[in-house]
Amino acid sequence: MSEFGKAEGEHLLASGWLQGAIFKSNDVVGVPEGIEAGTLLVVLTQSCTVVSSSLDRDPLVEVAVVTAEGKEYKPKSQEATGKVFRKLSIPLGHGENPESGIIDINRRCFIPRARFLGIKPDGPEVSSKTAKAIGGWVGRYYTRVALPNLLVAKVEDIKFTDAIKKLLERKPDGREETFHELMTVIFGKWKPDDEAGPYVFEITFVCSEGPLADDFLEVLEKRFQKKAPIVIEADLVRIVIKAQAAEEVYLNQFNDWNRLTQWDHFSALDQQLSRDS
């Protein structure tokens, strides 16, 4: 297309081309390699980019395959709450018992954005809530932290992740919520960042309130039979565990740390994701 500007961007917006829009692959946009004509595709690109007035700056739209599962959508399933990084379950349509559709992050491709001017989304409609969940899931996939494979293996050898998950499922004394629901975020850092080790893996659990940090430390101490800061020695890994209140986090404290995105469903971030699904 020789010209593309504000009018074209507005046309895309009016046609319904936003993040989360679902359409069937066709000859107008071009059928991506390895995908059959008529396959459902969902727009992953942010809405502001999809309807941008500059084709030079934003020439492409990223899409992914959506596979209808043939069964009812379950909003609390692992796939629907974003706990499976590579697949997301979404409701196809607005009915009382909508069918589940699976978005596969490994089956995605780019399509020239100008091609969308000739068509409108012709797949199942999704709510703004579902579109927001798709955006959050895509963002987490691209920003997720990659720990060294050997470090992950050594941590799993001692069943550490399972132990932490069980502790977070407990309820503090006098509270209806679990530690899981009251945990703001979990940070981690490790050295070295390679596949050789040995590793020092530091983890800090940031709790929503001061007394909860004390309660969680007490639970950790009882489970691992150690006083805080808790240090666990294992083959090629030394794990150091701490807990603190969110109000005690100071500016730049975690600049050289990473949010452990793999553990988002161990914290209140999962509750936000569930509400957005």
Domain boundaries, the chain: 6-143, 149-276
Q: Which whole number is the average pLDDT over 3-17?
A: 92
User: Which CATH code fits 6-143?
Assistant: 2.30.30.110
The answer to whether the CB of 165 falls within 8 A of the CB of 147 is no
Res 55 pLDDT > 80? yes
The larger pLDDT score, comparing residue 99 to residue 29, is at: 99
Is residue 140 pLDDT above 80, yes or no?
no
- Position 140, amino acid: R
Question: Given this model, what pLDDT does residue 176 score?
Answer: 85
pTM of structure: 0.58
pLDDT at 264: 63
Rounded Cα–Cα distance for residues 230 and 250 (Å): 22
Sole residue written with tokens 């084709």: 55
Better-predicted residue by pLDDT, 98 or 181: 98
Query: Is 92's pLDDT higher than 60?
Result: yes
Q: What is the mean pLDDT of residues 128-135?
A: 89
> Which pLDDT score, from 0 to 100, does residue 1 have?
45
Which range, 105-114, 136-145, 231-240, 244-253, has the best average confidence (pLDDT)? 231-240
Higher pLDDT, 181 or 205: 205
Residue in 41, 40, 58 with CA at minimum distance from that of residue 49: 58
pLDDT of residue 163: 93
How far is 3 from 50, CA to CA, in rounded Å?
A: 16
